[in-house]
Amino acid sequence: DTGVSQDPRHKITKRGQNVTFRCDPISEHNRLYWYRQTLGQGPEFLTYFQNEAQLEKSRLLSDRFSAERPKGSFSTLEIQRTEQGDSAMYLCASSRSHGGSPLHFGNGTRLTVT
Amino acid sequence: GENVEQHPSTLSVQEGDSAVIKCTYSDSASNYFPWYKQELGKRPQLIIDIRSNVGEKKDQRIAVTLNKTAKHFSLHITETQPEDSAVYFCAAIVLEGSGTYKYIFGTGTRLKVLA
């Protein structure tokens, strides 16, 4: 079971810098999700892909956030001009495409903006 | 908009007692409800799930019940053990146009099992 892998595990950056995170889903899963989690809260939906198509982006996501999944396999999440409020755990999850398929989460990337 | 409410936010029980966590959802079309356990510093992991065509599902010491009419579902843990201590999240599928869907999570319940 290779699972969902995310890189890096931790990222510390200064305010105003750009950061990029990577997620490699389970290989046979064609759906990929990005969530953000802050302390004491549940995962908050950011965006998701079916294969390479980005099907929805949360209204909470500012224009500084962009995600790609160019070949329908791995995905990247980029945050431009980071702000202190972006500090959080960024979780990636994948699933099969039919409704009622459970999400399998990666270990997350913890972002700290100083 | 779509919403999943979860209660309580914290729960302390004595080892061996039962724990119950409740969630309500707003989208009557939701038909799949997973529960995740997240230990400190680790990823959320699926522990049990239920689909809308059944009212209860059990797996050893954990069970989930679903009341579609009232739009709520609950997690039951019996004979709690210290290793059950974690944060538990409920989730519901929210169906959207053109057959797409997404998962919305509750805010979590921090369960402490006291030895």
Interface test with B, best of A1, A45, A89 (most B CBs within 10 A): A45
3-state secondary structure at position B97: helix
Task: Sort residue A5 into left (φ over 0), alpha (ψ -120 to 50) or beta.
Answer: beta
Q: What angle do CA A21, A23, A26 make, to 5 degrees?
A: 175
Asked if pLDDT for residue B100 goes beyond 80, the answer is: no
Per residue in A11-67, pLDDT tens?
A: 999 999 999 999 999 998 999 999 999 988 889 999 999 999 998 888 878 899 999
Smallest Cα distance from B101 to chain A, Å: 7
Mean pLDDT of A83-104: 91
Contact across the interface for A105 and B43, Cβ inside 8 Å = yes
Counting residues of chain A whose pLDDT is more than 90, the rounded percentage is 77
Say if the Cβ atoms of A103 and B103 lie within 8 Å: yes
What per-residue confidence (pLDDT) applies to B3?
A: 84
Please tell me what DSSP assigns to residue A103: P
Sign of CA dihedral A20, A21, A27, A30: negative
Do A43 and B105 make contact, defined as CB atoms within 8 angstroms? yes
- Under a CB-based contact definition with an 8 Å cutoff, are residues B80 and B19 in contact? yes
Q: Using one digit for the tens of pLDDT, what is the confidence trace for B3-54?
A: 899 999 999 999 999 999 999 999 888 889 999 999 988 899 999 999 988 8
